[in-house]
Amino acid sequence: MTDGCAAPEQTVALPAGIDLSTQAVIQGVVSGAGTAYARLLDHSGEFTGEVVVSDEGVFRFFAAPGDWTVRIIAGGGVTKDIPAQARLGEVTQLSVTV
């Protein structure tokens, strides 16, 4: 039995079958957060998507090339914004301590 929306498990390694030449990926590892969410905001600050950070602290977004902000939302009202630039064919790796 599986829970959730059947999204790929969030691990640092890209899921099998991902053609990186056609993707721009923003991913990272959050430490010190416990349960947390990663929210993707576009260049104007508009909400684009959100994922639950895995038990290992990993999150991933497949984004259009360009400038983005990843907002980490953790317990205790902790919020941290990290600027990120997505580039076609690359994985932008973030490391976040909250």
Q: Is the pLDDT of residue 45 over 60?
A: yes
Within 8 A by CB and 6+ apart from 89, the residues are: 20, 21, 22, 23, 24
Two structure tokens written together for 67? 């400038």
Q: Are 28 and 93 in contact (CB under 8 A)?
A: yes
Share of residues in the chain with pLDDT > 90 (%):
70
Predicted pLDDT of residue 27: 96
Within 8 A by CB and 6+ apart from 79, the residues are: 71, 72, 73
What pairs with residue 13 in β-bridges? none
Q: Is the pLDDT of residue 19 over 60?
A: yes
Q: Is the pLDDT of residue 88 over 50?
A: yes
Q: Write down the mean pLDDT value for the chain.
A: 88
Predicted pLDDT of residue 17: 75
In this prediction, residue 83 has a pLDDT band, given cuts at 50, 70 and 90, of very high
CATH of domain 24-89: 2.60.40.10
